[in-house]
Chain A
């Protein structure tokens, strides 16, 4: 097992095709105390620029989210651009978008953990925070969509004197159950691996921070029993939250697939949306990791080009899967059968919104396939930031095409009408601002890197000589 102080270098071994082994975080260990200090420093050191951005975000939220939403609640949904036949518009697009983003956190934290991809170790928490805050925006967006949001609690199944219960035939109730399960589960799953890091922060803090960490670390010490219970719970979560993740976006897709609208009643929507969620989520993780690396101190040690490389490869695979499902969904109506499905495809590709449809294909297929195959380019964080943004915009547009653009074409041509959003735009900007604000504030309070997991991984990695080459060897300490 690696010692904790030195970097591992084997004598008379050639570097091989992987270059200097020290460029991998798992083969470049530092003393745990030093890593703790680095993470805490990145949490404590707050520049004036940071607070400037926070104030800007708060003002944006005050006007674009709180003010605009209050105005909409007081005056009715008429202040939006919604109309018949687009009863669902940008609010639902945002809901699906944010839920999609949140899936990457679970994918990285749970699926990669279960499959023992050690490369996930330094950024699981950053991804999980993205999940939690993304789901907050999804919740806000769906509340924004409701005509009588003050009665939203009627979707909760609770006994009442009027003997009224919600309708479980409805995909929206399946949504309600699934998304609530997912929010609760991912928040708990964020907290579990965070507990030892909160204990570490408690040990090294003073003043109000010490009181804060002392309370929320619950008295965790790291005894054998505590680790045993914690790991048992984490194991259950890691395995259980993966099917929940798949089910959540499938159920979201069923909101559309259960409908009778042309272009919506497609049986491929389940897997299509799940892959779409991974596509936008992984791209969002690229953006978040770039921001963390470039704005927080010491993060360049933890988040390295190898992580962008890995996520880039993943993004390429997911983009190919997305293209496969998109083509499935396109080919069947194109081939013929339902007149309105064909009309809809024509409307997508040649109607007034054709330019967004084309951008969607460029952003989701052309650009990832052109850039992500190249290992040197995948290791450039700034390029991966751009790819991440391009993909995310393209995925937002994909939902925009599926929802308001598809809703334009109904089976009663007399009712066709274009959708022109109005107050939805500031409200969308407001949700992005709130996401960024929550993330920035969390970065001041929550250690961004799970140091205990990084140390655990570094302990498990060694360099082995096979012939004349140095090979990374990982022990299964889990």
Chain B
């Protein structure tokens, strides 16, 4: 169906986030914003919580000053296998991609009912509340591989599908399969602590599959049956999975 290459069975792209390594530097947040042409929304909108970050770092504190420990949890679209955001969109703007097994947001189709935003248990979907300006010369940093969104549409992380496609295209041209680690979303690429690992979960030899079998592995809100594609590795001082 969708996708330039059709493998049978299609690859299942997934991610592992090692919370022991994460230092909360938010390089992933910045890189994602640059890669995906995220708007700069200004302090007034930020104050009411309208940040357009496709990945955000949640911070959890434990203990009393001065014995505080902090845990960091980067949360992004979990690309659920049973995504609750998909069946509720009345116009099919949120659909399951067959060839990447992730959840797609079709900007052109979105009419802005925002049901998907409500139904995401991870609250990772963001909405374009306005047309935020991109004054010259900021428009020069736009990534030509990614469209810009106008007011009234929802958006969210799509595992840098533009990078997945580009690598698959290149591999197909060269007549070879995609190597493990060749596709790197912007967040994984930017992380200085190598906390984010990306790859094919359906390949048992890939780095991400092996890490996902780790004893510290857990998934967010797994009990809801969403089948998230992101595995978190519990850190020493983290408070992930909401306790």
What is A's interface to B at a CB cutoff of 8 Å? 75-78, 81-85, 87-88, 145-149, 151-152, 154-155, 164-167, 169-173, 176, 255, 258-261, 407, 410-415, 417, 420
Q: Contact at A78–B110, with CB atoms within 8 Å?
A: no
Size range of the chain B interface in the assembly: 35 or more
Q: Contact at B119–A147, with CB atoms within 8 Å?
A: no
Within 29-60 of B, Cβ neighbours of A (below 8 Å) are at 45, 48-50, 56, 58-59
List residues of chain B with CB within 8 A of the CB of A166: 90-92
Q: Can you name 21 A-B residue pairings with CB atoms under 8 Å? A: A76-B128, A76-B151, A77-B112, A77-B130, A83-B50, A84-B127, A88-B118, A146-B112, A146-B113, A148-B110, A148-B152, A155-B111, A165-B92, A166-B91, A171-B115, A172-B90, A173-B90, A261-B121, A411-B221, A414-B59, A417-B49
B156 smallest CB distance to A (angstroms): 11
Given A166-B90, A167-B89, A413-B242; A255-B111 close (CB under 8 Å): no
Nearest opposing residue in chain A for B119, CB measure: A259
8 smallest CB-CB distances across A and B, nearest first, come from A147-B112, A147-B152, A78-B129, A76-B151, A148-B152, A78-B130, A87-B114, A169-B87
List residues of chain A with CB within 8 A of the CB of B153: 147-148
Q: Contact at B123–A415, with CB atoms within 8 Å?
A: yes
A170 to B85, CA, bound (A): 10
Is B224 interfacial (CB 8 A cutoff)? yes
Q: Contact at B92–A84, with CB atoms within 8 Å?
A: no
List residues of chain B with CB within 8 A of the CB of A412: 58, 75, 121-123, 242
* Residue among B84, B87, B111, B221 making CB contact with A146, cutoff 8 Å: B111
Q: Contact at A167–B242, with CB atoms within 8 Å?
A: no
* Residue among A78, A84, A154 making CB contact with B117, cutoff 8 Å: A84
List residues of chain A with CB within 8 A of the CB of B111: 146-149, 151-152, 154-155
A148 to B129, CA, bound (A): 11
Main secondary structure, interface of A, reads loop
Nearest opposing residue in chain A for B94, CB measure: A167
A410 to B49, CA, bound (A): 14
A75 to B111, CA, bound (A): 16
Q: Contact at A88–B114, with CB atoms within 8 Å?
A: yes
Nearest opposing residue in chain B for A411, CB measure: B121
A71 smallest CB distance to B (angstroms): 12
Q: Contact at A260–B92, with CB atoms within 8 Å?
A: no
Q: Contact at A167–B92, with CB atoms within 8 Å?
A: yes
Main secondary structure, interface of B, reads loop
List residues of chain A with CB within 8 A of the CB of B151: 75-78, 147-148
Given A76-B152, A88-B114; A155-B90 close (CB under 8 Å): yes
Nearest opposing residue in chain A for B86, CB measure: A169
Most chain B beta-carbon contacts within 10 A, residue among A82, A87, A167:
A87
Q: Contact at A170–B119, with CB atoms within 8 Å?
A: no
Is B109 interfacial (CB 8 A cutoff)? yes
What is B's interface to A at a CB cutoff of 8 Å? 45, 48-50, 56, 58-59, 75, 84, 87-92, 109-115, 117-119, 121-123, 125-131, 151-154, 221, 224, 242
Given A411-B242, A414-B58; A155-B91 close (CB under 8 Å): yes
* Residue among B50, B118, B131 making CB contact with A261, cutoff 8 Å: B118
List residues of chain B with CB within 8 A of the CB of A78: 45, 50, 129-130, 151
A138 smallest CB distance to B (angstroms): 15
Nearest opposing residue in chain A for B123, CB measure: A415
B139 smallest CB distance to A (angstroms): 19
A347 to B128, CA, bound (A): 28
Q: A84-B126, A171-B88 are in contact. List 7 more A-B contacts (CB 8 A).
A: A84-B127, A148-B111, A148-B152, A166-B91, A259-B88, A259-B118, A261-B119
Given A78-B45, A148-B153, A166-B90; A172-B115 close (CB under 8 Å): yes
List residues of chain A with CB within 8 A of the CB of B110: 147-148
Q: Contact at B88–A258, with CB atoms within 8 Å?
A: yes
Nearest opposing residue in chain B for A147, CB measure: B112
A148 to B154, CA, bound (A): 11
List residues of chain B with CB within 8 A of the CB of A164: 91-92, 109
Q: Contact at B115–A170, with CB atoms within 8 Å?
A: yes
Q: Contact at B58–A147, with CB atoms within 8 Å?
A: no
Nearest opposing residue in chain B for A142, CB measure: B113
List residues of chain A with CB within 8 A of the CB of B90: 155, 166-167, 170, 172-173, 176
A103 smallest CB distance to B (angstroms): 23
A167 to B113, CA, bound (A): 13
Nearest opposing residue in chain B for A81, CB measure: B48
Nearest opposing residue in chain B for A145, CB measure: B113
Q: Contact at B123–A84, with CB atoms within 8 Å?
A: yes
List residues of chain A with CB within 8 A of the CB of B123: 84-85, 410-412, 415
A84 to B242, CA, bound (A): 19
Given A164-B92, A167-B87, A411-B242; A255-B115 close (CB under 8 Å): yes
Nearest opposing residue in chain B for A264, CB measure: B118
A31 to B117, CA, bound (A): 61
A207 to B152, CA, bound (A): 50
Nearest opposing residue in chain A for B114, CB measure: A87
List residues of chain B with CB within 8 A of the CB of A176: 90
Given A147-B110, A417-B49; A77-B129 close (CB under 8 Å): yes
Q: Contact at B89–A170, with CB atoms within 8 Å?
A: yes
Q: Contact at B92–A420, with CB atoms within 8 Å?
A: no
Q: Contact at A170–B88, with CB atoms within 8 Å?
A: yes
